[in-house]
């Protein structure tokens, strides 16, 4: 989707201290073989700090950095991929109570690891039309993502093949007013025939958490691959994911009116080196030096926050400067694929 006249004015991040893979090995939670195979360095671990509280801290930082008044926001989207609090309760209301108030639409976005992309796509459409009472004044939306994976039904060190789970939160302020960056295009696609990849052979009912079943994407992926190999569909499905990824990137770049040669850096999922290289960088014919893997390997896979946290890191370290373009790419259960292109217009005031 081409996104005219929607800017990014603020970014906020909350990252706790990291636990190294060597510490995890000493605790009996990770293996030396995995270190050699995946070259991951550690994961951010926040203990018992609730995800909504992390989201609140990231949101406050994003608003403070750009001087946006919370009571002038017109939309709040809260993306997450893991449990946020008591069943029957939704986390966006925590931010309404403690930060933004009740005079705006607030919605939880349950779109897994691609939740922030979905939030950007939804917010961009919302801001371009605006609420009826808005008139001509600029509109602003707050997008947040947060997850704490340190729960009994999750082992962060074996969450999935080629990655470990990190805790953290991110926030973005999108606005129709001028900002330090432009969201040029954002879009998504799906490969429905790969729906079972993240479900495996688990029953749909009763839902796993209601019967104390842990989340293990490694086991689910293995079950899917074994079935796909048995019926001869495995290679075709994986090839389809690859093809759809390239098609989505090509479409999003065209909507942004740039080519792959205009991209300065690429923010992908915080996965192992071989996954980032094979599924993303080599597929795009780009060197690993343009990726954010060196940073992502130190904090772990942060649910829906990987790309935004990487964007913040690139800005703070001077790896993105005015005129640069960032390609953000994600994959999540579904299988869903998401892509966005951001152009840096000026140095953010907090990076001066």
Instruction: Look at the domain 7-178 and name its fold.
Output: Peroxisomal Thiolase; Chain A, domain 1 (3.40.47)
Q: Name residues whose C-beta falls within 8 Å of residue 278's C-beta, 6 or more positions apart in sequence.
A: none
Q: pLDDT tens per residue, the chain (352 residues)?
A: 899 899 999 999 999 999 999 999 999 999 999 999 999 999 999 999 999 999 999 999 999 999 999 999 999 999 999 999 998 999 999 999 999 999 999 999 999 999 999 999 999 999 987 665 555 678 999 999 999 999 999 999 998 889 999 999 999 999 999 999 999 999 999 998 888 888 888 888 998 888 888 888 877 877 777 776 666 666 788 888 899 999 999 999 999 999 999 999 999 999 999 999 999 999 999 999 999 999 999 999 999 999 999 999 999 999 999 999 999 999 998 899 999 999 999 999 888 7
**71: preceding bond cis by omega (within 30 degrees):** no
What's the pLDDT at 275? 95
Give the SS3 label for residue 68.
coil
* C-alpha span between 293 and 343 (Å, rounded): 20
Give the SS3 label for residue 13.
strand
Q: Name residues whose C-beta falls within 8 Å of residue 202's C-beta, 6 or more positions apart in sequence.
A: 208, 213, 220
Provide CATH 3.40.47.10 ranges for the chain: 7-178, 185-345
Residue 84 phi/psi, 5° resolution? -105, -20
- Other CB atoms within 10 A of residue 20 CB: 15
Closest CA to 253 of 306, 190, 311, 186: 186
What's the pLDDT at 277? 96
| Inter-residue contact 155 to 113 (CB < 8 Å) | no
The single-letter DSSP state of residue 96 is: I
What's the longest Cα–Cα distance across the chain? 60
Give the SS3 label for residue 31.
coil
Q: Is the dihedral of CA 327, 144, 15, 159 positive or negative?
A: negative
Exposed/middle/buried for 132, CB within 10 Å: 0-12, 13-18, 19+?
A: exposed
What's the pLDDT at 118? 97
- In this prediction the pTM is 0.94
Number of helices and strands (H, E) in the chain?
10, 11
* C-alpha span between 157 and 31 (Å, rounded): 9
- Other CB atoms within 10 A of residue 136 CB: 6
The single-letter DSSP state of residue 7 is: E
What DSSP string runs through 189-252? EE-GGGGGGGTTT--SSS-GGGGTPPB-HHHHHHHHHHHHHHHT-HHHHHHHHHHHHHHHHHHH
Closest CA to 157 of 335, 332, 300: 300
What's the pLDDT at 134? 55
Instruction: Look at the domain 185-345 and name its fold.
Output: Peroxisomal Thiolase; Chain A, domain 1 (3.40.47)
């Amino acid at each position: 989707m081409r996104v005219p006249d929607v800017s990014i004015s603020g970014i906020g991040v909350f990252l706790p201290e990291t636990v190294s893979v060597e510490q995890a090995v000493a605790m009996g939670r990770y293996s030396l073989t995995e270190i050699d195979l995946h070259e991951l360095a550690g994961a951010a671990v926040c203990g018992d700090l609730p995800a909504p509280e992390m989201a609140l801290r990231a949101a406050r930082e994003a608003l403070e950095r750009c001087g946006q008044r919370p009571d002038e926001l017109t939309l709040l989207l809260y993306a997450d991929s893991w449990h946020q609090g008591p069943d029957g309760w939704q986390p966006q209301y925590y931010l309404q109570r403690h930060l933004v108030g009740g005079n705006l639409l607030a919605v939880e976005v349950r779109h897994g690891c691609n939740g922030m992309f979905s939030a950007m796509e939804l917010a961009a459409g919302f801001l371009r039309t605006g609420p009826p009472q808005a008139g001509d004044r600029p509109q602003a939306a707050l997008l947040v993502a947060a997850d704490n994976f340190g729960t009994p039904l999750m082992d962060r060190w074996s969450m999935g093949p080629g990655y470990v789970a990190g805790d953290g939160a991110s926030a973005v302020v999108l606005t129709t007013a001028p900002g330090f960056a432009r969201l040029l295009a954002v879009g998504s696609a799906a490969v429905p025939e790969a729906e079972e990849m993240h479900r495996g052979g688990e029953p749909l009912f009763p839902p796993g958490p209601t019967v104390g079943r842990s989340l293990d994407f490694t086991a689910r992926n293995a079950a899917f691959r074994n079935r796909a190999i048995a019926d001869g569909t495995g290679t075709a499905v994986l090839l389809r994911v690859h093809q759809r990824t390239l098609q989505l990137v090509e479409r999003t770049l065209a909507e942004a009116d740039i080519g792959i040669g205009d991209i300065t850096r690429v923010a992908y999922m915080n996965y192992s080196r071989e996954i980032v290289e094979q599924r993303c960088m080599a597929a795009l014919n780009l060197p690993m030096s343009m990726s954010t893997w060196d940073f992502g390997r130190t904090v772990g896979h942060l649910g829906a926050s990987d790309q935004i946290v990487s964007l913040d890191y690139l800005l703070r370290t001077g790896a993105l400067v005015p005129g640069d373009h960032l390609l953000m790419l994600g994959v999540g259960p579904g299988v869903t694929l998401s892509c966005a292109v951001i152009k840096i217009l000026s140095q953010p005031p907090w990076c001066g």
